[in-house]
Amino acid sequence: MFNNCSDKSRRRFLKISALSMAAAPLGNLLLQGSAGAEDLPKLDESDPAAQSLGYVHDATKADVKKFPKRAGPDGATEFCKNCQLYSGAAGQEWGPCSIFAGKQVNANGWCNAWVKKAG
Residues 42-73 pLDDT 10s: 999 999 999 999 999 999 999 999 999 999 99
3-class SS letters over the chain: CHHHHHHHHHHHHHHHHHHHHHHHHHHHHHHHCCCCHHHCCECCCCCHHHHHCCCECCHHHCCCCCCHHHCHHHHCCCCHHHECCECCCCCCCEEEECCCCCCEEECCCECCCCCECCC
Averaged pLDDT for residues 79-88:
97
pTM: 0.69
For the domain made up of 37-119, the CATH class stated in words is few secondary structures
Q: Is a pLDDT exceeding 50 seen at residue 31?
A: no
Q: Where are the domains of the chain?
A: 1-34, 37-119
